């Protein structure tokens, strides 16, 4: 199968492209410049920008499947005059433009990496999100991803191209950025963290498990026109994550007991309430559909995934 990865130079894209090279598939990458960080043996196509006017003709010629990973990502401090418009330009309009051209080029399957933010920002303890829940995006990034999903399903119905939508939770692994990288640095430095009293549950997904799931969705007939949530299958509290991360680093976990109400109040004073909510709140997903329909189970346990991440 000839597979083109849109966003092959990113954190997830590089890991996927490496796995595709080791499989029976023929991987092709898109890059933003001719001088990318892709392996010199990889076949690549330069696409400088992704929007409603991007011409994909040459890139899609002879392609069997598209894996669309590229996106304008969620940003903590978005300085755009109209953030929703900017997210829509890439994540909605750019995605649907690509999908229409893919269908016209005869692509059989289109894998779209969406976001758990389509479901929402938080769950009640023990009440995980499922693929069948009503969408409830709460920020411009989540809204743009949801609108892309809606449009993709319409394109699938109109053209017959198979669309698979994947909503991952927070993705961690070697090279991960954002909140996971920041937390990893604090643990590595032995910084005392006031999180021992937090009793939440969060679903995460290691990069190797996510890549394995994407490849499963490329190959499995039952994945066609379905939406999946993906995680490691084990939900962790924030203190447990820190302890296991520290153990993977062979470092002590320094946790201090501070009531959640005090943490949230202090975070609000310093404009960090959203960050505190991610550390203190719950966000769980139910991956039983992935297990039952596709026969998929996460191949890499959490502790091994953390060891690979910190290594």
Edge-to-edge strand list for the sheet holding 65-68: 43-46, 26-31, 2-6, 65-68, 109-113, 162-168, 227-230
pLDDT in tens, 154-209: 999 999 999 999 999 999 998 888 888 989 999 999 989 999 999 999 999 999 99
Same domain, yes or no: 131 and 260:
no
Same domain, yes or no: 75 and 46:
yes
Same domain, yes or no: 49 and 184:
no
Domain for residue 60, yes or no?
yes
Domain for residue 51, yes or no?
yes
CB atoms near residue 216 (< 10 Å): 18
Same domain, yes or no: 87 and 193:
no
148 close to 95: Cβ distance less than 8 angstroms: yes
The pair of three-digit structure tokens given for residue 161, joined into one six-digit string: 């191209």
The pair of three-digit structure tokens given for residue 67, joined into one six-digit string: 């894996």
CA dihedral 24, 209, 305, 284 (to 10 degrees): 180
Q: What is the pLDDT of residue 94?
A: 95
Strand (E) or helix (H) holding 117: none
How far apart CA 91 and CA 83 sit, in angstroms, is 12
How far apart CA 211 and CA 245 sit, in angstroms, is 21
φ/ψ of 88, rounded to 5, equals: -65, -35
Q: What is the pLDDT of residue 104?
A: 96
How far apart CA 287 and CA 232 sit, in angstroms, is 9
Q: What is the pLDDT of residue 117?
A: 97
Strands (E), 80-218: 109-113, 162-168, 170-172, 204-206
Residue 231 burial (C-beta neighbours within 10 Å; 0-12, 13-18, 19+): buried
How far apart CA 202 and CA 190 sit, in angstroms, is 23
Domain for residue 306, yes or no?
no
Same domain, yes or no: 246 and 127:
no
Give pLDDT tens digits along the chain (311 positions).
Answer: 899 999 998 999 999 999 998 888 888 988 876 655 555 455 777 777 888 999 998 889 999 999 999 999 865 455 667 889 999 999 999 999 999 999 999 999 999 999 999 999 999 988 999 999 999 999 999 999 999 999 999 999 999 999 999 999 999 998 888 888 989 999 999 989 999 999 999 999 999 999 999 999 999 999 999 999 999 999 999 999 999 999 999 999 999 999 988 888 888 887 877 888 888 899 999 999 999 999 999 999 999 999 999 88
Domain for residue 209, yes or no?
yes
How far apart CA 32 and CA 112 sit, in angstroms, is 19
Domain for residue 255, yes or no?
yes
Read off the DSSP letter of residue 52: T
How far apart CA 168 and CA 120 sit, in angstroms, is 12
Domain for residue 309, yes or no?
no
Active site residue 141: yes
pLDDT in tens, 11-32: 999 999 999 988 888 889 888 7
Three-class SS of residue 268?
helix
Same domain, yes or no: 218 and 273:
no
Same domain, yes or no: 166 and 94:
yes
Same domain, yes or no: 20 and 111:
yes
Domain count for the chain, please give it: 2
Same domain, yes or no: 260 and 218:
no
Q: Which of 63, 86, 64, 62 is nearest to 74 (CA)?
A: 86
Q: Give the residue numbers spanning the domain of 111.
A: 2-173+205-232+284-300
Q: Which residues are CB-neighbours of 209 under 8 A, at least 6 positions away?
A: 230, 231, 232, 298, 299, 300, 305
Q: What is the pLDDT of residue 39?
A: 52
The pair of three-digit structure tokens given for residue 184, joined into one six-digit string: 């990893």
Catalytically annotated residue among 56, 141, 172, 228: 141
Same domain, yes or no: 74 and 107:
yes
Tell which phi-psi region holds residue 73, choosing left (phi > 0), alpha (psi between -120 and 50) or beta.
beta
Domain for residue 310, yes or no?
no
Domain for residue 242, yes or no?
yes
CATH of residue 103's domain is: 3.40.50.720
Same domain, yes or no: 185 and 159:
no
Q: Which of 117, 167, 120, 7 is nearest to 72 (CA)?
A: 7
Same domain, yes or no: 26 and 140:
yes
């Amino acid at each position: 199968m000839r597979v083109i990865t849109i966003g092959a130079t990113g954190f997830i894209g590089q890991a996927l492209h490496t796995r595709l090279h080791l499989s029976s598939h023929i991987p092709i990458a898109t890059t933003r410049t001719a001088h990318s960080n892709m392996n010199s043996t990889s076949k690549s196509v330069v696409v400088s920008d992704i929007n409603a006017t991007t011409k994909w003709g040459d890139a899609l010629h002879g392609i069997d499947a598209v894996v669309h990973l590229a996106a304008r990502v969620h940003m903590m401090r978005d300085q755009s005059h109209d953030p929703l418009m900017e997210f829509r330009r890439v994540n909605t309009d750019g995605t649907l433009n690509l999908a229409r051209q893919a269908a016209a080029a005869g692509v059989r399957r289109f894998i779209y990496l969406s976001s758990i933010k389509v479901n929402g920002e938080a769950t009640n303890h023990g009440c995980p999100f499922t693929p069948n829940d009503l969408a409830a995006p709460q920020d411009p990034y989540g809204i743009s991803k949801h609108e892309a999903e809606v449009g993709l399903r319409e394109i699938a119905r109109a053209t017959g191209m198979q669309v698979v939508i994947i909503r991952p939770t927070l993705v961690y692994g070697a090279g991960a950025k954002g909140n996971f990288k920041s937390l990893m640095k604090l643990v590595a430095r032995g910084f005392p963290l006031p999180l021992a009293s937090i009793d939440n549950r969060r679903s995460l997904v290691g990069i190797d498990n996510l890549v394995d799931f994407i490849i499963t969705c490329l190959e499995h007939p039952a994945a066609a026109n379905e939406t999946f949530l993906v995680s490691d299958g084990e939900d962790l509290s924030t203190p447990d994550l820190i302890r296991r991360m520290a153990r993977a680093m062979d470092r002590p976990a320094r946790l201090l007991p501070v009531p959640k109400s005090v943490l949230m109040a202090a975070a609000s004073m310093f404009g960090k309430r959203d960050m505190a909510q991610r550390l203190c709140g719950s966000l769980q997903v139910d991956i039983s559909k992935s297990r039952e329909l596709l026969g998929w189970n996460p191949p890499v346990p959490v502790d091994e995934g953390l060891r690979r991440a910190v290594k």
